[in-house]
Structure 1
Amino acid sequence: MTKRKNHSPEFKARVALEAIREEMTLAELSKKYGVHPTQIGTWKRAAIENMATAFTRRGAAPEQVNAAEVDKLHSKIGQLVVERDFLADASHQPSRDARQEMVSKDHKLSVRRQCALLTLTRSSLYYEPKGESAENLRFMGIIDKQFLETPWYGSRQMARYMKRNNHQCGRHRVRRLMRLMRLVPIYQEPNTSKKHPQHKIWPYLLRNLVIDRPNQVWCADITYIPMQRGFLYLVAIMDWHNRKVLSWRLSNSMDAGFCIEAMKEALAKHGAPEIFNTDQGSQFTSGDWIDVLTEAKVKISMDGKGAWRDNRMIERLWRSLKYECVYLHAFESGSETKAGIRKWLAYYNGERPHSTHGILTPDEAYASKTEPMRLAA
């Protein structure tokens, strides 16, 4: 029987720091340190959430607990016992992957007991995925390039394309890889967005709207960025009127955090737009994303089912970025990818004229028109 590993806080902090730097994929970090990718993701989130505690005032006196609070805690213990029993017998539970993420080796409860409460087998916790094979990464590159040429291809048509070109990649593998790359065909079809079943979907606000000035409407989208040994995800915030990329972030996971960081940067640099439009992806319907927009008093708009035309501007950005930068350089590491994309986006914003505005670049088009002054209430 394999002995359970107990990692030191210093080791966890070092691994979490490398994950935060986004220079390696979770699969590469797992291979380097011998830790499950899910566990690395948990350490990464914990490090980000607890970062503020490093700046708390030292020497603060601990809070005193009175008798009433003790009685309240005893009552809470009884409630938790009932809830624990309910959890063990609940028929509607989260997915297996979500329940596996709930298990913590540092918890006071033993792993055996946690698995029993979550109806998991302990053996499933120690399975270490090997990441995508070299063959799958090669297929993903082929699919990504073809999708830029024929964005209406679904998994069936893409599988036919692969077969005609002598690639041994069947429809089920094509479908899984397209989902992993977040590729959705642009034809009218229900449920085209990977929305979260418990998240609110906001109404679409752009129907028949004339968009004629900067900071009137912003949009955001996520795309897959291939590298020589793995892949990353890229999110970009774009001004709808002039196509200027206001901010962007790379990440080795699909958590909403890197999207929120990009949005906060855009708000800090350029102020708040009147409307922010996205698809119904779970990153853009999460509570943290919505809270930031609500606090900035931004109207939230979301594409309807099958409304693929609303993303056409940023999809063209992805096509140009991949053909003019990503595919030409075949970056090896996250740091190289980040530097290459930063250089190309600076060129796109500042030097490359956009057809929508004639000879003006997105930077020049963004600066040429200002928002009308708002009268005080």
Structure 2
Amino acid sequence: MANLSQTNLPDCWIFDRALFKWQRKTYVIVGVMDLRSRKLLTWDLLRPLKPKPTAAVLTSAMSTYGKPPALVVGIDPVFKSPDVQAIYAQAEVWPVNLRQGKASVSIFIRSLWRNLEWEGLSWRELPDEPSFRQVVADWLMHYNSDRPHQALGYEVPDERWRSARYQL
């Protein structure tokens, strides 16, 4: 990736998904992340991945946090579906391509999904699906509000979001 450091990252949101296997079932987590603060704005755990629930994740982020400065989306075909395209059109936000060679800024949200799998899920035996969903929710809340990030100067994403977005 050419010259993408914490100081010169573009001001954008990343809208992407990841797959998780649990008890022989495949779940898809879809989320929206603010790139500069690394805050996960909203997410949902879906089974299976379908366009309407995927569009609802982006709608939820925009209704809570407003219109994104720019939007980078994953490569999954669901992000090009008519339901999701309708949300782009309604908000007058069109996905931008910030790919440089084979790398992309999507690596930041993929790192979040990988950390969720390693730190949040890999060491736990969960008896049922509600427990699985609760562990995911708890870990993502921890990620946003308690977990310091070296790339953010050991701030947590919620602190960085507030300092970056609410300066007057």
Relative to the length of structure 1, the TM-score reads 0.40
Residue type of the alignment partner of 2:134: A
Q: Distance in 1 between matches of 2:50 and 2:36?
A: 28
After the TM superposition, list the runs of 4 or more consecutive aligned residues in structure 1 that deviate by more than 6 angstroms: 207-213
Relative to the length of structure 2, the TM-score reads 0.86
Match of 1:227 among 16, 19, 22: 22
Match of 1:312 among 85, 88, 107: 107
- Do residues 262 (structure 1) and 57 (structure 2) align? yes
Q: Distance in 2 between matches of 1:370 and 1:224?
A: 31
Q: Distance in 2 between matches of 1:285 and 1:268?
A: 21
Computed over aligned residues only, the root mean square deviation of the Cα atoms, in angstroms, reads 2.8
Q: Label 1:256 to 1:332 Cα distance change in 2 as closer, same or farther (>3 A).
A: farther
Q: Which residues of 2 match residues 274-313 of structure 1 at below 5 A?
A: 274-302=69-97, 307-313=102-108
Higher Rg of the two aligned structures: 1
Residue type of the alignment partner of 1:366: W
- Residue aligning to 1:353: 148
Shift of 1:224: 1.4
- Residue aligning to 1:366: 161
Shift of 1:368: 0.3
Q: Label 1:348 to 1:210 Cα distance change in 2 as closer, same or farther (>3 A).
A: closer
Q: Label 1:370 to 1:303 Cα distance change in 2 as closer, same or farther (>3 A).
A: closer
Shift of 1:332: 4.0
- Residue aligning to 1:24: none
- Do residues 329 (structure 1) and 124 (structure 2) align? yes
Q: Distance in 2 between matches of 1:333 and 1:293?
A: 36
Q: Would the aligned equivalents of 1:220 and 1:238 in 2 still touch at CA under 8 Å?
A: yes
Shift of 1:276: 0.6
Q: Distance in 1 between matches of 2:26 and 2:128?
A: 9
Shift of 1:310: 2.4
Q: Would the aligned equivalents of 2:42 and 2:61 in 1 still touch at CA under 8 Å?
A: yes
Q: Would the aligned equivalents of 2:51 and 2:79 in 1 still touch at CA under 8 Å?
A: yes
Q: Distance in 1 between matches of 2:26 and 2:52?
A: 18
Q: Which has the higher helix share?
A: 1
Shift of 1:303: 5.5
If asked which structure has higher relative contact order (CA below 8 Å, sep 6+), I would say 2
Secondary structure of the corresponding residue to residue 60 of structure 2: helix
Q: Distance in 1 between matches of 2:68 and 2:104?
A: 21
List runs of 5+ in structure 1 lacking aligned partners: 1-206
The alignment covers a number of residue pairs equal to 167
Q: Label 1:332 to 1:236 Cα distance change in 2 as closer, same or farther (>3 A).
A: farther
Q: Would the aligned equivalents of 1:217 and 1:240 in 2 still touch at CA under 8 Å?
A: yes
Shift of 1:294: 2.1
The CA deviation string for residues 228-279 of structure 1, in whole angstroms up to 9 with x for no partner, is: 2422111111001111000011111121222211111111111111211013
Shift of 1:302: 3.6
Secondary structure of the corresponding residue to residue 309 of structure 1: coil
Secondary structure of the corresponding residue to residue 301 of structure 1: coil
Q: Label 1:371 to 1:287 Cα distance change in 2 as closer, same or farther (>3 A).
A: farther
